[in-house]
Amino acid sequence: AQSVTQLDSQVPVFEEAPVELRCNYSSSVSVYLFWYVQYPNQGLQLLLKYLSGSTLVKGINGFEAEFNKSQTSFHLRKPSVHISDTAEYFCAVSAGAAGNKLTFGGGTRVLVKP
Amino acid sequence: GAVVSQHPSRVICKSGTSVKIECRSLDFQATTMFWYRQFPKQSLMLMATSNEGSKATYEQGVEKDKFLINHASLTLSTLTVTSAHPEDSSFYICSARVSLSGGMFFGSGTQLSVL
């Protein structure tokens, strides 16, 4: 079975500052990694995903993430945040195939302050 | 990207009644859909995997007679919360995958409040 740990439950950050959200996973088989964003009372929107190839993945809204197999991490970064980035962010993993069921981390709430 | 429509977005019902939530893939066929439950300020917990034309696979601890799942077509899965009670109040989200190697797309969620 796989598991996902998001080390920070909340991350306050000032507007235009960089942000990094940490995600670590464990799995006994090959994994596919995802970051999703959730705005209040809404579903999840895919930010980016790692399936194979380059370990640096670029997503929407200026986000990027780096897959580090040796550290079993998939941290999400953005060099300059906006107020509109205030949301809940979830790291997720599927094992064996990209379309298998997802296991989510606990989520990280990003609060961007003016 | 692929679009998944979930309806209703919000429902309030009396204790003891049943509520049906629909999840539709609008522009693709989804042989498999997933149902999640999310409590306030918590993560998503997978409830069941819904396969078209067969019985759903429930996660451990999820009551299959309480949460009835039907996946009658390649574009529609429904979750029926039977005899709902206040503890069933939660945010329910569905997702659908395009293929085993493809991505997962989520509905916008349903906020269920049982009075």
List the single range of A77-81, A88-92, B18-22, B102-106 with lowest mean pLDDT.
B102-106
Nearest-angstrom CA–CA distance, B77 and B28:
13
CB count, 10 Å around CB of A108? 21
Residue of A nearest to B98 (CA): A99
Residue of B nearest to A45 (CA): B106
For A41-56, letters b (16+ CB in 10 Å) and e give ebbbbbbbbbbeeeee
Mind telling me how many Å the CA of B3 is from chain A's nearest CA? 11
Nearest-angstrom CA–CA distance, A109 and B96:
25
Task: Tell me if A108 sits within 8 A of A21, measured CB to CB.
Answer: yes
Tens digit of pLDDT for each residue in B63-79? 999 999 999 899 999 99
Between A98 and B15, whose confidence is greater? B15
Residue of B nearest to A106 (CA): B43
**Three-class SS of residue A20?**
strand
**Which one of B99, B104, B111 has the shortest CB-CB distance to A102?**
B104
CB count, 10 Å around CB of B66? 14
Tens digit of pLDDT for each residue in B6-41? 999 999 999 999 999 999 999 888 888 999 999 888
Nearest-angstrom CA–CA distance, B53 and B33:
12
Please, what sign has the CA dihedral across residues B81, B32, B40, A41?
Answer: negative
Nearest-angstrom CA–CA distance, A66 and A59:
11
Task: Tell me if A89 sits within 8 A of A104, measured CB to CB.
Answer: no
Which DSSP helix (H) or strand (E) runs through A109?
strand A108-113
pLDDT at A99: 73
Tens digit of pLDDT for each residue in A22-79? 999 998 788 899 999 999 878 899 999 998 888 999 999 999 999 999 999 999 999 9
Q: What is the DSSP string of A21-69?
A: E-EEEE-SS-EEEEEEEE-TT--EEEEEEE-SS-SEEE-GGG-EEEEET
A contacts of B37 (beta carbons < 8 Å): none
